[in-house]
Amino acid sequence: MDLERDYGLTVTELVPHAGGFATDGWVADRRWFVKAWQPGEPAVGLERLEQLRALGLPVVEPLRTLQGELSAMSDDRAYAVFRMSKGVRRTGATGAWQLVRCGRCTKRRPG
């Protein structure tokens, strides 16, 4: 990944982040989250995040590359960069989720 070439970001620290759904992740300078899809797999769902954000939902949308794209390529891996956001951690032994109704949307949060 070349964050400077693709995003104009100069990063001094890139730390692996466990977890993810069929992707690998890193935290860059405690400010950015970098998500890389498996080799040959396309970056999926990024347009949807922009659409949800435009509707006023509290989602983190990807940064645009310097070329205006939602993701960049590093060899045969697509990757995208997001601003770090404090998330909600699941608590409890079961990790159960409850649905909470809020306005026009339904969101999940730990229960």
- C-beta neighbour count of 62 within 10 angstroms: 23
66 or 58: whose pLDDT is higher? 66
The arithmetic mean of pLDDT across residues 25-36, rounded, is 94
Tell me: the pLDDT tens digits for 61-82? 999 999 999 999 999 999 999 9
Give the pLDDT confidence score for residue 26 in this predicted structure. Answer: 94
The pTM (predicted TM-score) of the whole model is 0.74
Share of the chain above pLDDT 70, in %: 77
